[in-house]
């Protein structure tokens, strides 16, 4: 059983067993977060390691006003975004063709259920800045104001990037489904 408060107190005191328990409890999920933001496995692992160092060094500031997992998730997201920023991989503008720019008037043609694994794979095909904004907003629950602050862009750019990311993802999804259906014939 994972007694969160005891483990946190042990980590603050420098107890190696508590640190190991915390690491083992959250390492898988936090590495997945880093990999979601950073395509390059080495960069993701670097961000993961640096974020865990921050977790352990700032754990004394944890106030229990949110869950530990939520608090840690924010640290891992921020560290991944910082890594992207340091690599200067977030371009603010990406040229997209007119077909990608079109947003369906209604989503009646959308299936009742999406293949979530396919959607995550297709997200990797999005331009880096669109993918990051989409993940921050739709998956991690950041507001446009928070995204704008973290990515150093206007809120309007965050909103338009999200709209374009959704549109591009929708087009990629439809194309993949169409290709899959034509292979079955």
Return averaged pLDDT per consecutive 10 residues of the chain, 185 residues in all.
84 94 95 90 92 95 90 93 74 42 44 65 87 90 91 91 91 82 67
Annotated domain spans of the chain: 4-86, 98-184
Q: Which of 102, 104, 90 is nearest to 157 (CA)?
A: 90
At 93 the pLDDT is 41
Fold of 98-184: Arc Repressor Mutant, subunit A (1.10.10)
User: DSSP labels for 47-99?
Assistant: HHHHHHHHHHHHGGG--SSS-HHHHHHHHHHHHHHHHHHHTT---S-----HH
Is the four-CA dihedral 26, 79, 83, 158 of positive or negative sign? positive
Query: Could you tell me the fold of the domain covering 4-86?
Result: Rna Polymerase Sigma Factor; Chain: A (1.10.1740)
pLDDT at 45: 94
The pLDDT of residue 119 is 76
């Amino acid at each position: 059983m994972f007694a969160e408060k005891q483990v946190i107190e042990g980590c603050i005191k420098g107890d190696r067993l508590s640190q190991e328990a915390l690491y083992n409890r959250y390492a898988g999920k936090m590495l997945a977060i880093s990999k979601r933001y950073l395509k390059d496995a080495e960069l993701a692992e670097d961000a993961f390691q640096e974020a865990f160092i921050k977790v352990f060094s700032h754990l004394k500031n944890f106030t229990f006003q949110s869950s530990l997992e939520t608090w840690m998730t924010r640290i891992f997201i921020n560290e991944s975004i910082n890594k992207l920023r340091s690599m200067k991989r977030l371009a603010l503008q990406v040229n997209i063709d007119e077909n990608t720019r079109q947003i369906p008037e209604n989503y009646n043609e959308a299936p009742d259920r999406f293949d979530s694994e396919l959607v995550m794979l297709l997200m990797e095909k999005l331009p880096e800045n669109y993918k990051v904004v989409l993940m921050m907003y739709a998956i991690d629950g950041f507001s446009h104001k928070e995204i704008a602050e973290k990515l150093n862009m206007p809120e309007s750019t965050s909103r338009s990037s999200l709209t374009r990311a959704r549109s591009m993802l929708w087009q990629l999804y439809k194309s993949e489904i169409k290709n899959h259906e034509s292979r079955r014939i």
